[in-house]
Amino acid sequence: MGDVVSSILFQPPQAVRCLKASKVTWLKTKNNFRIPSVFIANKTAKITLLYSHANAEDLADVYVWLKYLSKQLNVNVMGYDYTGYGQSEGEPAEEHCYADIDAVYEHLTTVRGLKPSQIVLFGRSLGSGPSCYLASKTSAEGNPVAGLILHSPFTSIYRVVADVGCTLSGDKFPNIDFAPDIKCSVLFIHGTADKIIPHSHSESLSNAIDKQARIPPFLLDGMGHNSIPEEYRPLVLEKVRDFLLHHTNVDPSKFQKGKAGVSAIRSTTQASLPSKHNIALDATADTDDDEATTATCKEVTCWEESIFDVYVKALHEQWVEVQNKDTAATTASSSAAKAKAR
């Protein structure tokens, strides 16, 4: 079922736009695929965001957004494409996404000489998968990144489709299993009107992480799943600035050892939409913009709901098929055991 789920889950854009060659740094992953990346420098930056984009978009689609984040937050930003997305090589797969972010992180720490304490991971929707993986991995290695920002994350792919209590065979991106091992502060950003990934996923992930990492999820009243609309951006930027300033220097020694388990934290920060907040992306902020940045900053979507309906139906059918096979196998095994006992 794994390949079937992957073919349904991963939706690279059909039309690929190319960034200027001078902007792209090509990286090779441990799976021997080449992926494009960009590094947007900010002269006053002390923090670098490693950004993992959502589904159905690629590096060229999010380039304007990355530049906007760099300018507004005074940070460096590094973005990349997953294997099989944009100009990258290969076919998309969960394990490739992990190898992709590993390659980008290695570039930041070895080639650019950044310390983990200078890197904050930022994952949106599908990007929450590789981001949670890397946050957990660096924590296990005893050198966690400075922080983790998750925008519209999920607990796992199957859990988007069905309410299951554990990670099942064939599930993808089990963020809920990575969460207890994360030893850096985590900011969750989620819309209360998200019909694709309900905000309860952020709450469940928050409950699963170590109490030292918990910041009440930032819930935006009325916001859906897709990109942050203009009227919400001041709220989000303010929250991210506060996170970068006050929550990215937590002493890892203060974290509990081993799995943290799930606690009963339920308090959330719910932001209501202000009456007058309208801020546009400055797509012409510098003179070095290419064709990707001269375009209007359109609202890049992760999954249109109509497309997602098809995805959910197909994935649910596959999930039911696996459960039926497991049940049949268990019944057959039990019957065989009883027959042998006689």
Whole-number Å distance between alpha carbons of 247 and 167? 30
**Position 4 confidence tier, pLDDT thresholds 50, 70, 90:** low
* pLDDT given for residue 251 in this prediction: 56
Predicted confidence (pLDDT) per residue in 275-307, tens digit = 333 334 433 334 355 444 333 334 334 444 444
Identify the three-state secondary structure at position 316. Answer: helix
Whole-number Å distance between alpha carbons of 39 and 119? 13
**Position 271 confidence tier, pLDDT thresholds 50, 70, 90:** low
Share of the chain above pLDDT 70, in %: 74
pLDDT at position 1 over 80: no
**Position 338 confidence tier, pLDDT thresholds 50, 70, 90:** low
Integer CA distances (angstroms), 294 to 139, 251, 286, in order: 39, 42, 10
Query: Residue 236: CB partners within 8 Å, gap ≥ 6?
Result: 189, 218, 220, 228
* pLDDT given for residue 300 in this prediction: 38
Query: Residue 60: CB partners within 8 Å, gap ≥ 6?
Result: 16, 17, 18, 19, 86, 292
* pLDDT given for residue 182 in this prediction: 97
Q: What is the mean pLDDT of the chain?
A: 81
Say if CB 324 and CB 317 are below 8 A apart: no
* pLDDT given for residue 177 in this prediction: 96
Residue (of 123, 134, 111, 124) closest to 26 by Cα position: 111
Predicted confidence (pLDDT) per residue in 171-190, tens digit = 899 999 999 999 999 999 99
**Position 118 confidence tier, pLDDT thresholds 50, 70, 90:** very high
- Percentages of the chain per state (helix, strand, coil), in multiples of 5: 45, 15, 45
* pLDDT given for residue 328 in this prediction: 73
Q: What is the pTM of this model?
A: 0.78
Residues with a catalytic annotation lie at 125, 194, 225
Higher pLDDT, 195 or 150: 150
Average pLDDT over residues 323-332: 72
* pLDDT given for residue 141 in this prediction: 97
Average pLDDT over residues 226-234: 81
Average pLDDT over residues 124-145: 98
**Position 313 confidence tier, pLDDT thresholds 50, 70, 90:** low
pLDDT at position 264 over 90: no
**Among 90-94, 134-138, 163-167, 226-230, whose mean pLDDT is lowest?**
163-167
Share of the chain above pLDDT 90, in %: 58
pLDDT at position 106 over 80: yes
* pLDDT given for residue 46 in this prediction: 93
pLDDT at position 268 over 80: no
